[in-house]
Structure 1
Amino acid sequence: MFKPLSLYIGLRYTRAKQNNYFISFISLTSMLGVALGVAALITVLSVMNGFEKELRTRILGTIAHVTITGHDGTLKNWQELKAKVKADPRIAGIAPFVEGQAMVTHSSRVQGTLIRGIQLDQEDQVDDIRSKIKIGNLDSLRPKSFQIVLGIDLARSLGVFVGDKIIVVTPQATATPAGIIPRIKQVTVSGIFQVGMYEYDSALAIMNIEDAATLFRLQGKISGLRLKLHDLFRAPEIAYELRETLPDNYQTADWAYQHANFFRALKTEKTVMFVILFLIVAVAAFNIVSTLVMVVTDKQADIAILRTLGATPASIMGVFMVQGTIIGLIGTFLGMIGGVALASNVETVVPHIESLFGVQFLPPEIYYISELPSELSWNDVTTICGASFVLCVLVTLYPAWRAARTQPAEALRYV
């Protein structure tokens, strides 16, 4: 069967011979190093994707995809705006809300909090806060009941439980003959929720929208509308379109903008982790250089004979590039198989390792996410494998170039 000369000889050189087991061992370690680096990269980036998805899910279970407010932080005659926005087929649900900063106190403990007033019959259209209730019931937030649901960390900080009374102090002041004093209202804790994000569990409290409007003196007005989209990744685009089509006295914000720093930090961390772990692949790839340099030195006589028989420098280069490329190709393929298999079963493998060694990597009493999530991205797999293979090909150029410069007379002088 016809084979190109460079491919034929390159394939023969990759096989172990009786007198060059050491070179074959170096080739094997290089191959395994590439495989290990690729597998580690795929697994780690999949775990980071899993954490990002978990965090995004938890955040979006509490906030809206898009929020519409007024320039002064309030909306009047909002029913007309709601009807207009609801006609957009890209919007899955709309709910009004009232929001404001306050202090909550119990005994001698004081905590700052963000109080959000919700309308129970519409809130389920925009978030799943109902599923986050650990103790109590969200339906207890009836109008004029002045009951409140606290985040679990906020409840712990105040030392309160369901049924306890707390004092809410708002910045809206009341003028009295004795002077200006802040508005104070006693409310009853009727539930505790846990989102799994410290930002919300330690600083968010939920009330009925009418009670919150009374508390913040917004009778007849609301703070804004919360929108849920069919495609959450189109939130920036839709928020921009709404901002352009609505009158100037309206403002819009999307979840990506509200948490831009957080998700930008995750992306930066993922990029840095990719660079660090790719160094494993780079070290293994440079081992291929050592392997090929030794092979070139060992095959000086063979190269000289091929040159005298008419082989061109390009074909000699091709011989050793084939050998290095095969090492990189096999290593990358093995790493891809191992990485995809491990990334797809992280949630099964890690508990077995924990039970085997009697350890727990992410104790639930310390970490909000106590299990290692994994989200395999084929775009990441393609990028990693492509970069690994290209690097392995590039590192073959120098040894192959050295082989092509071999002078037949010099190489055969001492044979």
Structure 2
Amino acid sequence: MFLNPYERLIARRYLWPGKGEGIIAVVVGFALMGVMLGVAALVVVMSVMNGFRAELFDKTTALNGHAVIQGYDGKLPDWRRIVEVAQKTQGVTSAVPLIEQPLMASAAGRVEGVLLRGMREQEIQGKQIGGNVVAGDIKMVAPGAGTVALGARLAEQLGVGIGGDISLISPAGQTTPFGTVPRIVSYRVAAVFEVGIYDYDNAFVVMPIADAQTLLMMGDAVGMVEVQTVNADRVEQILKPVAAAAKGVAEVRDWRQMNASLFEALQVERVTMFIVLSIIIVVAAFNILSSLIMLVRAKTRDIAILRTVGADRSSMVRIFVTVGLTIGALGTIGGLILAAIFLYYRQGVVNFVQLVTGQNLWDPQIRFLTELPSRTDPVEVLSIVVMTMVMSLLFTLYPALRAARTDPVQVLRYE
């Protein structure tokens, strides 16, 4: 919006009401604060929701792949052929064998349900497990060494540390006249890791795939083949040739099927929070409307004089629209700065509030992740800014048009 010099001068003057107009300044201040808080709340919540989804997606797919080819009855004897077909499929970046089996574990008189994960040595020492070791040496978890790595929360639950012994209880044992005797094998804890997802840190027992095959008496079979692709959103189309090759011996399950309820709930919550928090900006826009209406009433005589000396209706519209948009713009900039500060210190803020209130606001058992995540989407931030400015403009038009319709004859009749 282009203003001539006198319109800019008047707009700057009206942004800070004069003597005796303190109530207008207060209302303008509340309008600006409302816009700032509304923008900050939207940016913070949407960034946290995006971060939550992205962290969950990154960590779950890093550990479980974009898809798994899972053998019927938990066994996949012909896994080498499946791996070969997958590796030759266009769009597949990796295909690795894996064993995953729920078992019972005991240590120091404590018993917990665990998820045994048999992996190849290079995957154990990779980024997701080996890169998140908090104690011990992951290189000690080697085939035939009789060692395992535990999730940090599971180690706490069992009360076992580095060098301690853990017994894994497998229902697949020897058959006797009195039934099947569970197979119990002891292992030494060589490393403790923390991947950042509570359910994994509270359940995973990782060992070499050869040791897992021996424990579960699976021979040369594995439980599944984990597949990574170039595009997680197109995983179903990419793996069609693999699904055809595995038909009758295994099923293909992608990340959507494995985590459908979780990611759908996050999407619904994300949309709901955006709609609810947008109401704050609507309320702030109403504050801009009320402050400008009060300003127009207070400046009726000034408007009449300006009209008398030659200012036209469009000048009045531009002046008051500029005032309203300036309030909206200043509030938006302040909100973005406030959101950036909060997101930068987000975990410190959470810890401080927990310390003051004595409440656990971020329980990993409920939130899945151990820390408050954040990932800001520039497109979403831009949409929030545009929405705020559009609302500021719309709620500014009425008082601006009212000012333009001021009749100088009626106002100055008795002056």
User: TM-score scaled by structure 2?
Assistant: 0.78
Q: Is the 8 A contact 2:243 2:252 kept in 1?
A: no
1:220 is aligned to: 220
Distance 2:111 2:75 in 1: 27
User: 1:382: how far off?
Assistant: 0.6
Return closer, same or farther for 1:121/1:400 CA change in 2, 3 Å cut-off: closer
Check if 1:33 corresponds to 2:34: yes
Aligned to 1:83: 84
Partner of 1:241: 238
Report deviation, 1:261. Answer: 3.2
Residue 291 (structure 2) aligns with: 291
Contact preservation (8 Å) 2:288, 2:324: yes
CA distance in 2 between partners of 1:150 and 1:41 (Å): 39
CA distance in 1, matches of 2:405, 2:60: 61
Look up the SS of the partner of 1:195 in the other structure. coil
Contact 1:343-1:374 within 8 A present in 2 as well: no
Which residue of structure 2 aligns with residue 208 of structure 1?
Answer: 208
1:390 counterpart residue number = 390
Letter in 2 for 1:242: L
DSSP 3-state at the match of 1:222: coil
Residue 377 of structure 1: how far off its partner (Å): 2.7
Query: Once the 2 structures are TM-superposed, how far is the Cα of residue 129 of structure 1 from its aligned partner?
Result: 0.9
Contact map agreement 1:362 1:369 (CA 8 A) in 2: no
Displacement, 1:378?
1.5
Question: Is this contact kept in 2: 1:27–1:288, CA < 8 A?
Answer: yes
CA spacing shift, 1:85–1:7, aligned 2, 3 Å = farther
* Partner in structure 2 of residue 332 of structure 1: 332
Which residues in structure 2 correspond to 1:136-155 (within 5 Å)? Answer: 136-155=136-155
* In 2: Cα distance, 1:78 partner to 1:362 partner: 49
Distance 1:371 1:359 in 2: 18
Q: CA deviation at 1:264?
A: 3.8
**Does the 8 Å CA contact 1:140/1:190 hold for their aligned counterparts?**
no
2:193 equivalent to 1:181: no
Q: Provide closer, same or farther for how the CA distance between residues 282 and 175 of structure 1 changes in structure 2, counting only shifts above 3 A.
A: same
What residue number does 2:262 align with?
262
Aligned partners of 2:370 and 2:85: how far apart in 1?
Answer: 43
Seen in structure 2, the aligned counterparts of structure 1 residues 359 and 371 have a Cα distance that, compared at 3 Å, is: farther
Question: Partner amino acid for 2:298?
Answer: D
Cα distance between partner residues in 2 of 1:16 and 1:59: 53
Q: Tell me how far 1:96 sits from its aligned partner.
A: 0.7
Residue 312 of structure 2 is aligned to residue 300 of structure 1: no
Closer/same/farther in 2, CA of residues 294 and 90 from structure 1, 3 Å limit? same
Paired AA for residue 391 in structure 2 = L
For the residues of structure 1 that align with 2:158 and 2:280, how far apart are their CA atoms?
Answer: 49
**Kept after mapping to 2: 8 A contact 1:240/1:252:** no
Pairwise CA distance, 1:58: 4.1
The residue type equivalent to 2:106 in the other structure is T
The answer to whether the 8 A contact 2:68-2:224 is kept is yes
Alignment TM-score, normalising by the size of structure 1: 0.78
Distance 2:413 2:361 in 1: 72
Maintained 8 Å contact 2:66/2:232: yes
Contact residue 343 and residue 376 of structure 1 kept, 8 A: no
Aligned partner of 1:321 in structure 2 is 321
Q: CA deviation at 1:206?
A: 1.8
Aligned residues: 403
- Tell me, yes or no, if structure 1 residue 197 matches structure 2 residue 197: yes
Looking at structure 1, the residues matched to 52 and 90 of structure 2 have their Cα atoms a distance apart, in angstroms, of 31
Q: Deviations over 1:342-379 (max 9, x none)?
A: 267437x948x96xxx9799999976977665433312
Aligned residue number for residue 157 of structure 1: 157
Q: What amino acid is aligned across from residue 346 of structure 1 in structure 2?
A: Y
For the residues of structure 1 that align with 2:348 and 2:153, how far apart are their CA atoms? 28
Once the two structures are TM-superposed, the CA of residue 412 in structure 1 deviates from its matched residue by: 4.9
SS in 2 for 1:150: strand
Note if 1:14 corresponds to 2:14.
yes
8 Å CA contact 2:98–2:222 kept in 1: the answer is: yes
User: Distance between the aligned counterparts of 1:364 and 1:62, measured in 2?
Assistant: 27
SS of the residue aligned with 1:115? Answer: strand
Deviation at 1:103, TM superposition (A): 1.8
Instruction: Report if aligned partners of 2:90, 2:238 keep a CA contact under 8 Å in 1.
Output: no
| RMSD (CA atoms) | 4.0
Matches of 1:9 and 1:272, distance apart in 2 = 43
Counterpart amino acid of 1:237?
R
Identity between Structure 1 and Structure 2 (%): 32
Secondary structure of the residue aligned to 2:160 is coil
Once the two structures are superposed, the pairs formed by residues 42-191 of structure 1 within 5 Å of their partners are 42-88=43-89, 90-106=91-107, 108-121=109-122, 123=124, 128-172=128-172, 174-178=174-178, 180-191=179-190
Aligned in 2, Cα 1:162/1:302: closer, same or farther, shift over 3 Å? closer
Between the aligned partners of 2:392 and 2:400, the Cα distance in structure 1 is 13
Q: Distance in 1 between matches of 2:16 and 2:243?
A: 73
After TM superposition, give the deviation of residue 85 of structure 1 in Å.
1.7
Please give the alpha-carbon distance, in whole angstroms, between the structure 2 residues aligned to 1:241 and 1:316.
61
Distance across 2 between alignment mates of 1:62 and 1:252: 16
Q: Cα–Cα, structure 1 residues 386 and 190, in superposed 2: closer, same or farther, change >3 Å? A: same
Q: 1:27 is matched by which residue type in structure 2?
A: V
